[in-house]
């Protein structure tokens, strides 16, 4: 079912508020009044009558509609009322547009390269320094973070120390059921943590491929592979929206808190479907939203690179997987995500804590 054929959901409160504000703008004279107030800061009804070719009673009615909707304020000054635009209403309108539409859309292509450049820069710097930080950039004890999100201390002793940069939000391998001799593909492989753990599971007869768009991460991962003598792991530079992998060659795809960084998430899932063999599995650990987030949080650079601002609503995320062609799409586990949000300002951090969910999703490409 395409997104355009998907059953419509009832309008939620933000959508209802957006509709109310939009209705108040549903006349060209009201739009003209708002522009006039924006330029003049304050004015009285008579001044508006001088620039609009309508009667004063009509202007008064338009002002009443705008005031009741919250677009303008009116203050009594002696025998007259001075009107001014409500800037908070403008900000609220923009936020409502974002939460009602942009949270479930791909980033416009004109912005996609800006997003990729931003992500490359942040993760390139992380690759160049020792240690790391969690996905949202706060905790420095990466081993403790890894254990908290689902890795065992024993597993962490089997991989090179520099492979764990603390950039995940879960352990996708916990639900992947990887078998010996299989081929595993990691989308956004970073320094190689999940690739090396998967390499143990597939054994010498299997193969693991890591794809990352950050050159510094690829080099770091290759160094880690040499350090750990992993002969069954390779790392390829590329974008997860355009995988450098042949059709129908992969048994299992894993990804850990990366797809939410993509400006075109549906394309990522289409590519995953393309490279999987019939019967292949997709297992993703990622962040999603339980409710829309504000424009301030969505526009935060730290929040986007930190996996929060790029997150979709949970239902939209699952729908994108289904629309790519996958069957048996199901959440294996979900939990509130509270790791490493300290890089955000306190109001944004609190909002993220209330809205962000960590999920582990399984899906299958039917035979």
**Do residues 175 and 139 share a domain?**
yes
pLDDT greater than 70 at residue 151 = yes
pLDDT given at position 285: 95
Domain membership of residue 73 (yes or no) is yes
Q: Give the predicted TM-score (pTM) of the model.
A: 0.66
Band the pLDDT of 208: cuts 50, 70, 90.
very high
In the listed set 74, 100, 126, which residue is the last one of a domain according to the structure? Answer: 100
Contacts of residue 86, Cβ cutoff 8 Å, sequence gap at least 6: 70, 71, 72, 73
Q: Is the pLDDT of residue 115 over 80?
A: no
Range of the domain at 343: 104-364
Assess whether 195 and 306 both reside in one domain: yes
pLDDT at 100: 58
Residue 49's closest CA among 88, 80, 87, 78? 80
- 95 and 137 share one domain: no
Is the distance from CB of 207 to CB of 186 less than 8 angstroms?
no
Between 1 and 22, residue with greater pLDDT: 22
Domain count, the chain: 2
**For residue 109, what pLDDT is reported?**
41
Same domain as 206, residue 134: yes
Picking from 84, 100, 116, the residue at the C-terminal end of a domain is 100
Domain boundary among 100, 134, 153: 100
Least confident of 174-188, 211-225, 268-282, 336-350: 336-350
If asked whether residues 112 and 231 sit together in one domain, one would say yes
The CATH number for 230's domain is: 3.40.50.150
pLDDT band, residue 112 (cuts 50/70/90): very low
Same domain? 72 vs 108: no
Q: Do 187 and 259 form a contact (C-beta atoms < 8 A)?
A: yes
More confident residue, 357 or 121: 357
Q: What is the mean pLDDT of residues 291-318?
A: 71
Mean pLDDT computed over every residue of the chain:
81
- Same domain for 42 and 131, yes or no, is no
> pLDDT category, 253, cuts 50, 70, 90?
very high
pLDDT tier at 44, thresholds 50, 70, 90: confident
State both tokens at 344: 């955000």
For residues 84 and 181, membership in a common domain is answered with no
Q: What is the tens place of the pLDDT at every residue in 238-250?
A: 999 999 999 999 9
Same domain, 61 and 128: no
For 220-229, 276-285, 337-346, 358-367, which range has the lowest pLDDT when averaged over its residues? 337-346
Q: Are strands 250-256 and 276-289 parallel, antiparallel or unpaired?
A: parallel
Q: Where are the alpha helices (DSSP H) in the chain?
A: 13-24, 28-40, 45-51, 56-69, 87-100, 109-128, 142-148, 153-156, 193-202, 215-228, 265-275, 295-298, 301-305, 314-323, 346-355
Amino acid 304: pLDDT: 46
pLDDT score, position 164: 84
29 lies in the same domain as 129 = no
Kindly tell me if the per-residue pLDDT of 101 is higher than 80: no
Once rounded to an integer, what is the mean pLDDT over residues 224-229?
96
Tell me the mean pLDDT in the region 53-70. 86
What's the CATH number where 89 sits?
A: 1.10.10.10
213 lies in the same domain as 144: yes
- Average of per-residue pLDDT across 330-354: 81
**Higher-pLDDT residue of 311, 104:** 311
Confidence label for 53 from pLDDT (cuts 50, 70 and 90): confident
Residue 3 located in a structural domain: no
End-to-end CA distance of the chain: 19
Residue 50 and residue 160 in one domain: no
4 in any annotated domain? no
Where residue 154 falls among pLDDT bands split at 50, 70, 90?
Answer: very high
């Amino acid at each position: 079912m395409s997104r355009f054929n998907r059953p419509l959901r009832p309008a939620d409160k933000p959508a209802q508020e957006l509709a109310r504000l939009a209705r108040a703008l549903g006349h060209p004279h009201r739009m003209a009044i708002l522009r006039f107030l924006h330029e003049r800061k304050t004015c009285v009804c008579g001044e508006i009558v001088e620039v609009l070719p309508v009667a004063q009673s009509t202007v008064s009615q338009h002002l009443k509609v705008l005031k009741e909707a919250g677009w303008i304020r009116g203050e009594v000054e002696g025998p007259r009322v001075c009107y001014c635009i409500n800037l908070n209403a403008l900000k609220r309108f923009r936020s409502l547009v974002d939460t009602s539409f942009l949270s479930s859309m791909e980033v416009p292509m004109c912005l996609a390269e800006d997003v990729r450049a931003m992500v490359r820069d942040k993760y390139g710097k992380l690759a160049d320094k020792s240690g790391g930080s969690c996905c949202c950039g706060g905790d420095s004890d990466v081993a403790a973070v890894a254990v908290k999100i689902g890795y065992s201390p024993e597993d962490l002793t089997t991989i090179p120390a520099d492979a764990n940069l603390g950039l995940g939000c879960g352990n996708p391998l916990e639900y992947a059921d990887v078998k010996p001799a299989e081929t595993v593909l990691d989308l956004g492989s970073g320094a190689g943590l999940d690739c090396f753990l998967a390499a143990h599971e597939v054994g010498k007869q299997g193969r693991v491929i890591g794809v990352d768009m950050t050159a510094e991460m690829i080099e770091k991962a290759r160094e880690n592979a040499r350090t750990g003598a992993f002969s069954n792991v390779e790392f390829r530079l590329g974008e997860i929206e355009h995988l450098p992998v042949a059709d129908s060659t992969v048994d299992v795809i894993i990804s850990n808190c990366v797809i939410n960084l993509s400006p075109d998430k549906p394309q990522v899932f289409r590519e995953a479907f393309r490279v999987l063999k019939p019967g292949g599995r997709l297992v993703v650990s990622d962040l999603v939203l339980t409710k829309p987030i504000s424009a301030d949080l969505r526009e935060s650079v730290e929040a986007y690179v930190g996996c929060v601002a790029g997150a979709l609503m949970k239902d939209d995320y699952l729908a994108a997987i289904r629309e790519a062609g996958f069957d048996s799409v199901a959440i294996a586990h979900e939990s509130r995500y509270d790791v490493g949000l300290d890089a955000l300002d306190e109001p944004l951090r609190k909002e993220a804590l209330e809205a962000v969910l960590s999920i582990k999703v399984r899906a299958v490409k039917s035979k």
